[in-house]
Structure 1
Amino acid sequence: MNDLGDRFVSRAEIARLAGVRRPAVSNWERRHPDTFPRPASAGEDGTELFRAAEVVDWLDHRAIPANARENGEPAGTTYGDRFRAGLQGGAEAAPKTPAPAPDTLVRGVEQALAQHGGTVSPEHVEMLLALLCLRGSRPEAWRALSSAAAGTTPPEPTELCRRITSDLPVRLSPTTLQTWQEGGRSLVEAIRLIDTHGTGERSECVAAFDHLIEWAARTGPARTAGEFFTPPSITRTVTRLLAPSVDAAEVHDPFCRTGEMLAAIVDTRGVSGRTRPLRVSGAGTPDFSLRLARLGMDLRGYDPADLVQGASTPSEYTAPLRRKVDLLVTNPPFNTRVPESPRNTGHWRYGPPPPHRANFDWLQYAVDSLSADGRACVVMAAGATFSNSSRERQIRSAMVTDGAVECVVELPPGLFFPTGIAVTLWLLRAPTGSCEEVLFITARAMGTMATRAVRSLSEQESDAIAHEYHAWRDSGGTGGAYRGSPGFSRAVGLDEIRANDYALTPSRYVSPVPETDSAPARKDSLGRLSAKLVRLHEEAARIDAFVESILRRHDV
């Protein structure tokens, strides 16, 4: 089995060593009563104990979702890897770069990609994702397909494509099918590689699916990568801000890209111990991204039909969302144009956005879509917090005074693969009619360079941002005074926001931590540097937004 001997662990220790919250362990027991280890002993206080050897064997078959992996944990890392490393030297001593075992499903996918050298096309990616979906969600159909491919005379690629599409609820692109039908034995080899690696459990297929999408975004054309994928450190931060705060009946993403924001919410709830049924819905564009989102939802056990064709702005929707949702997450395209003849303007409760920038089209749509206790998190270009457009300033001020804006989080630049543009997270709620204060969090100093061009937030940094938001919300619910964290967060009243012309740039309100020096000259210098830093941040974001709009206009 392994070399852990007669070591025993409690449920709390399992959670700590595996890096999950305590309810996740109870959730695993409830969902897998036939395979999860049974208590083998009891402590002096009566606490049930499990054999560590049996626990780690079970956790070895549970791959960590992409949005839950820590920095340095490659795709294919399992909860067993974390657990074992924690037992050997404490959670803090866990190795940062564990290598996936040679037979993991991720390794099989990588070998299938290697068949095509450096010319992997979207069609190759789509078919491999379809195969992962089939293996993880329809085991009987997969066994029939893999048995046929493993035979001495496997069916022709045309017949294999027919079998794959007949068992999937998502229609693949005709170009994808043609590419693989003309690829000779490539499809047979891809099926064999995916079948002979890993255990094929749904969680492992999900991990391999997420790994392949992230790989495609990183290696694809720079202009399209950001349109089609939200990096894991952003989705992780969004879910930790929102998921614990609302026991949602439905989560909706009006611009779902490849479904990564929805998937992060679903995966987080899967290890949180929550059992309330969750409906997942959304809209997406272009067709390629929407198909991948549907495959990902189907693999996770959700109806792919609830993801429908969308548009680049909500005012273009022919069929706007009629129901109110508890949870809305989205990373919409930045600074796109509002259509000259919008079809859907019912959500413009605070006024029409300027025709050249649809940022406040999205923000108003998010507010209008929420149920009475709902929450939204919208990833938005930093320029939306301070733009001088009269229309945007009017909408921004109306949203604040109506109580629709709870919190604005300033993230570091460089988190997206193709661009260094700085972004913010807007935490929104259904309007209350008044505003007492808004929480501002500045995380511009956070993150480390994952590559030469891309920055990433760590698991601990995402937790720190979420903790600040939840501490502020908890203080409001208990009547306690929220003090904030110097240099990181501050709750600001309406009068101060009004005095700043309703600018919502967090670094305007959160001053850097002063050094221990009471000399007046030093204090004056720090004040001047702080004001200059705010101006530079705003100017950098304005330039980023301007360059981004030029690139989109000229399609380069």
Structure 2
Amino acid sequence: MTAAEIARLAGVGRAAVSNWRRRHPDFPRPVGGTDASPTFALDEVESWLRAQGKIAELPLLERAWQLVDTLRDPAGHAAAPLVEAGALLLLLHRAPARWAELADQPDTRLATALPRAVADTAVHTLGPDAPRDLRLPHLLGSTQLDLARLLAALAAQAGPAGAYEQLLTRHTEANSRQLSPTPPEAARLLAAVAGVPATVLDPAAGLGAVLLAHPPTTGRYGQDADPVAAALARLRLALHTPAEDPGPLPLDLRTGDALRADAYPGDTFEAVLCQPPYNERDWGHDELQFDTRWPGGLVPPRGESELAWVLHCLARTRPGGLAALLLPPTVAARRAGRRIRAELLRSGALRAVIALPAGAAPPYGVPLHLWVLRAPRPGDDFRQVLLVDAGAAGSAGTSAGPSTGPATAAAPEGGRDRVDWPALHRTVLDAWRGFDLAAREGLPVPADRPGVHRAMAAIDLLDDETDLSPARHVPPAAPVGGAAELSHLSGRLAELLAGLADPATLLPQAGPAVPGAGAGAGAGTVGVVTVGELVRGGALEVYSSGTGVATRPAGADPGGTPVVTDQDLAADAPPSAVLAAATGPAGDVRTRPGDVLVPALGGGTARVVPAEGPLVGAALGRQLHLLRPDPAVLDPEFLAGQFRSTAGTRRAASHATTTARLDIRRVELPRLPLPAQHHLGAAFARLAAFDSTLTRAATLARTLTQAATDALATGTLAPPEA
């Protein structure tokens, strides 16, 4: 296992593993890899971590994943062992009694009997060609048998489908540069737009996320250029189908490039949904010049592979059926694709272009568009297009602190963990369903909603550019409030500014300094003590979150357990996320009043958890330290103030290639009696409150000035008299 996997196993950052290697002579020696990326023996690492008290027992998932990785052929496909693991889990899912009969057999018998049982289950579930398509082995070795037993134990904990999801997640994380699967939330949005079709096709199925978003009663068809990915998707869908459903299941996933080697020529489906590959130059432009999928002989330009996928999906959609694709925003505006976009408008096929917030699907830094099309049918003369700008509605902003008004939220930031999926679903589906109903029933289209959506006649979009970007056509939202709300914001800002203390009262006064207060800089009359020494002496507990817990935006579950992040600390804001699961991992730490939160990257930020408020009981997001002082020895405000000081943390900084980190245990504190700590901590607390109020006032001032600017620009309000 690599250093990164050791860090994941112990719940720490990679820097901690590097420190262990330097400081502990008994840390396991590398057994492979390179000097820059060494690998270590799993059993040696497990024994060392257990001896150090860093783990009680190696989790089942980690042990299973390491065996899967051991079975990987360096010259073969990285995910090939997961096909075999999925087939074993399918046996546990569909025929648990047969596994129970085999589980106690000696290895010599199990090595041949288990492959037969797995093959029989695959044939019954997926059809007679399944063992060949999945390339199932006829004989199992000792490592494969060990994996089978571990998978049985893991399935007993999480269920066969849950166990497979965990393995697939580990695979995608380990190969994040090569894989970019569609997130389940985005897949569910595509499925919700399509409704409940009888048949659905995903011609770029990947790991089957889009097909998985549909119920097992839907006929699910797919294609992928990677035969191993197609096998994984097939097994994944079978594992999520109830075990009592008779086989063979209505699942059909084929291999091949859908543009060059369409696996369903001539077939049509009620819905065709996908997130196709982007920016492909070699998608088959030259050999597909006369393909029947191009309407009116319009061949997509070489640089418009995404439009080739749009036309392919439309060609596989039966008349009146729906196609939906996640596409980069440039597809709506690139000049090279203007003629194809114009043809989609003239034919009435293109029905909606929906701008999503950044972070909805990979690439996560790009705000993708959702294109919705209906295959034309005779007599359908509907020629309008719905343009939706759902970027703001689906972005989970971070509050700028306590608020008495409706407009003190900071501007929303894009990001994978900052998409408010419930709000995004509501915005998109409310707009689309009303528009689609009007199109199908001949009713008036819904009224425009400024800042969110607008319905336009197709002819009004046909010009020299045929730019379909929603932001260009959706009318801007009405500015905040008008005169009454601007007055409210102004009053709230005045209150915050009036509540600021006189800076002179916060400044250090002339006179004798607190003894030892400058110890972090090397001054003072008393000694210093490091955080590590305080931990060893029992005066302080330190918890590090490492990669943190799985989260989702706070708006997705208002009643969920809050998760505080390093961005929340930097913005002096309440937690912006909640736990993705109902319960956190075993042994996770929740904040208590008096705890001190410090980002792993330092930056002069440290915050004391107050006696009440949203920070109490929060879980730790990634890259955070929690310090829990013994109040009989350490004052929390004193501790936080020392961490906010430049001198206190400068010597404890460590540097990677591009970032600086805070080595928490090397931070030095002055040795002061508790009364002196209280006195100094109170001064630190006053300064922190002053800074917090300034931050909230600055945020509110930006909101007020932007709202006033918008009101003047749109003519909602007149400028004040000179």
Give the TM-score of the pair, scaled to structure 1: 0.62
One-letter amino acid of the structure 1 residue matched with residue 312 of structure 2: Y
CA–CA distance in structure 2, aligned partners of residues 255 and 367 of structure 1: 14
Measured at CA, do residues 174 and 399 of structure 1 come closer, stay the same or move farther in structure 2, by a change above 3 Å? closer
Structure 1 Cα separation of the partners of residues 131 and 290 of structure 2: 29
Partner of 1:129: 86
Distance 1:295 1:280, change over 3 A: same
CA distance in 2, matches of 1:211, 1:483: 45
Summarize deviations over 1:362-390 as a string: whole Å, max 9, x none. 1112222222221111121211111111x
Partner residue of 1:415 out of 343, 356, 360: 360
C-alpha distance in 1 between matches for 2:151 and 2:263: 39
Aligned counterpart for 1:187 among listed residues 137, 141, 147 = 147
* Equivalent-residue separation in structure 2 for 1:384 and 1:403 (angstroms): 18
1:284 lines up with 2:224 in the alignment: yes
How far 1:220 moved relative to its partner? 2.8
User: Equivalent residue for 1:506?
Assistant: 470
Q: Does 1:436 align with 2:375?
A: no
Q: Deviations over 1:314-359 (max 9, x none)?
A: 2x12555212221111111112133222387111014101123311
- Kindly provide the amino acid, as one letter, of the partner of residue 310 in structure 2: L
1:349 aligned partner, one-letter code: P
- Describe the superposition over 1:373-430 as per-residue Cα deviations: whole angstroms up to 9, x where unpaired: 21111121211111111xx110100101110011111112233356523321111001
1:330 and 2:270 are equivalent in the alignment: no
RMSD of aligned alpha carbons: 3.7
Letter in 1 for 2:328: A
Deviation, structure 1 residue 159: 5.0
What secondary structure, in the 3-state scheme, does the structure 1 residue paired with 2:292 have? coil
Q: Where does residue 462 of structure 1 map in the other structure?
A: 425
TM-superposed CA distance for 1:233, in Å, is: 1.5
Distance 1:321 1:455 in 2: 40
Looking at secondary structure, tell me which structure has more helix per residue: 1
Is the contact between residue 348 and residue 381 of structure 2 (CA under 8 Å) also seen in structure 1? yes
Aligned-partner SS, 1:223? coil
Displacement, 1:109? 5.2
Corresponding position of 2:9: none
Q: Give, as a single letter, the amino acid of the residue that structure 2 aligns with 1:463.
A: R
* Correspondence for 2:174: 220
Following TM superposition, by how much is the alpha carbon of 1:442 offset from its aligned partner in structure 2, in angstroms?
A: 1.3
**Separation in 1 of the partners of 2:132 and 2:711?**
63
List per-residue Cα deviations over 1:272-317 (Å, max 9, x = no partner). xxxxx64222211201111012213333256476221220x52x12
Q: Which one of the candidate residues 298, 303, 321 is aligned to 1:356?
A: 303
**Distance in 1 between the 2:186 and 2:122 partners?**
30
Distance in 2 (alpha carbons) for counterparts of 1:179 and 1:415:
43
Q: Secondary structure at the match of 1:225?
A: coil
Q: Distance in 1 between matches of 2:148 and 2:338?
A: 58
The corresponding residue for 2:293 is 347
**CA deviation string 1:124-183 (max 9, x = no partner):** 4333322332222x22xx322343224466745465345423432434789985997362
- 1:93-140 deviations in Å (ceiling 9; x for gaps): xxxxxxxxxxxxxx965663366799996244333322332222x22x
- CA contact under 8 A between 1:484 and 1:490: conserved in structure 2? yes
> 2:324 is paired with a residue of what secondary structure?
strand
Counterpart among 209, 224, 231 of residue 260 in structure 1: 209
Distance 1:495 1:195 in 2: 56
Cα deviation for residue 497 of structure 1 reads: 1.2
Q: 1:413 touches 1:420 (CA, 8 Å); kept in 2?
A: yes
Distance (Å, rounded) in 2 between the aligned partners of 1:173 and 1:324? 24
Letter in 1 for 2:383: E
2:256 pairs with one of 304, 310, 313: 310
State the match for 1:48 in structure 2: none
Distance 1:240 1:113, change over 3 A: same
C-alpha change, 1:254 and 1:400, in structure 2 (3 Å) is same
SS across alignment from 1:440:
strand
| Unpaired segments ≥5 residues, structure 1 | 1-106, 199-203, 268-276, 529-556
Alignment counterpart, residue 237 of structure 2, candidates 278, 289, 297: 297
Matched, 1:378 2:338: no
Decide which moves more: 294-303 or 379-388: 294-303
Aligned equivalents of 1:298, 1:116: Cα separation in 2? 20
Structure-1 separation of matches of 2:444 and 2:416: 42
2:98 paired with 1:144: yes
Q: State whether residues 233 and 456 of structure 1, in contact with CA within 8 Å, keep that contact through their aligned partners in structure 2.
A: no
CA shift in 2, pair 1:239/1:184, >3 Å: closer
1:321 matched residue in structure 2: 265
Distance 1:483 1:409 in 2: 17
The AA in structure 2 aligned to 1:112 is: A
Percent sequence identity is: 20
TM-score (ref. length: structure 2):
0.49
The answer to whether the 8 A contact 1:157-1:187 is kept is: no
Instruction: Please identify, of 206-215 and 507-516, the stretch whose mean Cα deviation from structure 2 is larger.
Output: 206-215
What residue number does 1:83 align with? none
CA 522–422 in structure 1, closer or farther in 2 if over 3 Å, else same? closer
Letter in 1 for 2:237: M
1:483 Cα offset (Å):
1.1
| Aligned-partner SS, 2:370 | strand
> Do the aligned residues in 2 keep the contact of 1:290 with 1:307 (CA within 8 Å)?
yes
Report the number of matched residues. Answer: 395
Q: Distance in 2 between matches of 1:322 and 1:428?
A: 19
Q: 1:232 to 1:188 in 2, by over 3 A?
A: closer
1:472 corresponds to which of 422, 431, 435: 435
Amino acid at match of 2:471: S
Q: Contact 2:294/2:311 (CA < 8 Å) preserved in 1?
A: yes
Match of 1:73 in 2: none
Which residue does the alignment assign to 2:458?
494
- For structure 2, which runs of at least 5 residues remain unmatched after alignment? 1-58, 73-77, 124-129, 398-412, 487-706, 716-722
Distance 1:470 1:501, change over 3 A: same
Cα distance between partner residues in 2 of 1:234 and 1:179: 40
Q: Which has the higher contact order (CA 8 A, sep 6+)?
A: 1
1:445-492 Cα offsets, whole Å, 9 max, x none, are 224499976554423422331121102223442624511332111111
